[in-house]
Structure 1
């Protein structure tokens, strides 16, 4: 399926999203942290039931493909896990705006919802990859969803965008998993991206800081909402 770039998101939508999230980050500076399990824990029967209830047999089929991917990658080299998870979501999701998919300006979908629809925006790609890599045993401390300003083409117009970062150590340069790039690259090679903040299940960081500044569950309501829906669907 085709992958659309962040440039196809309307400027007004991207600007409102960035301002809302940035405000939450500033307010949250200094808050305490809330830890979360380092593994997702996929309940296959509940995932299939959730997919069937929303999307029928087609939804179950794509969830089975996802579960097969996870089983195949258990114990595989890290580079293979990162590459194949990145490729799976980039192939199975078509980039569309939330307003088109869900009738909402900004909706963070669970992997069941995104794969069932076969479409998502940058947050949905990143969430799916994050959940899958956690299930494969990668510690949550090494994974962060990173909000960036993406500079587009020669015009240098910027848009809000999200990618997933893998950190070998907390202070290391991350590898970037992105839906608008063909492969995985070190952050230093992605000169088109300027980090704004990053988060995972246990912390929230400003820019390239190595020190968490806030509790992401308290400050990012959409993250809190998608985690709750994932638990209901069988992702713990």
Structure 2
């Protein structure tokens, strides 16, 4: 009897479907309207994965979030959005199924915030990618304020300490509150992140749920 009950319970659990909350359903519906059904499924998968990541410790969370978003396509802003520089919201990034380094970094940042990682542990870092001879953005994770940060990157998918990334030259970094000039691992405080116009525009679209469509389809 016990074995039969265990089998029945396993069957019930296997048929359980993930349920979106009201906000998540609104996100999915908005993405479906703007980008189509495949895009809506990507957002649903993101929400399912985020539910699973809640059970993990912080190091596992950064690894899983990094891996999840690195699956998307890299496309330059001018080819995707028709603009030299455009910072997409996570929903726009998933909707377009493509983005550049800023979009990968932003999506990881907001996902980790949602999972409960403190904003004080995260910085979006604008760097010079020396081997590619171009500007680039990565996400830095500080386990403690004095810690050497770990780097989440779409170019190199392996999370590594900043000191091992000799190919990256940090220029400035920011989070939801502050802006730093990166003269050291911790940087020199240079004001508030609201000084960045692209960041302000991104946050405005995020709050209003405004979704822009790319000029080409990478779905």
Confirm or deny that 1:90 pairs with 2:70. yes
- Secondary structure class of the residue paired with 2:148: coil
Contact 2:124 2:173 survives alignment (8 Å): yes
Aligned equivalents of 1:211, 1:170: Cα separation in 2: 13
Q: CA deviation at 1:46?
A: 2.2
Deviation at 1:172, TM superposition (A): 1.7
Q: Which residue does the alignment assign to 1:229?
A: 205
Stretches of structure 1 lacking an aligned partner (at least 5 in a row): 1-41
The aligned counterpart of 1:132 is 111
| Residue of structure 2 equivalent to 1:51 | 31
Partner of 2:51: 71
Higher RCO structure (Cα 8 Å, ≥6 apart): 1
Indicate if the aligned counterparts of 2:66 and 2:157 stay in contact, CA closer than 8 A: no
1:165 aligns with 2:165: no
Give secondary structure in 2 for the equivalent of 1:169. coil
Deviation for aligned residue 1:215 = 1.3
Which one has the largest radius of gyration? 2
Residue 185 in structure 1 maps to residue 153 in structure 2: no
For 1:67 and 1:212, how far apart are their aligned partners in 2?
A: 34
Q: Of 93, 106, 126, which aligns to 1:147?
A: 126
- TM-score calculated relative to the size of structure 2: 0.82
Query: Which of 100, 110, 114 is residue 93 of structure 2 equivalent to?
Result: 114
Matched length: 187
Query: For the residues of structure 2 that align with 1:43 and 1:214, how far apart are their CA atoms?
Result: 33
The correspondence for 2:171, drawn from 175, 181, 196, is: 196
Report the CA distance between 1:115 and its aligned residue.
Answer: 0.8
| 1:214-236 superposed Cα distances (whole Å, 9 cap, x missing partner) | 1111x1111011111111229xx
> How far apart in 2 are the matches of 1:99 and 1:71?
34
Query: What is the TM-score of this pair, normalised by structure 1?
Result: 0.76
Per-residue CA deviations over 1:69-105 (Å, capped at 9, x if unaligned) read: 11000030122111110010101x2111111111111
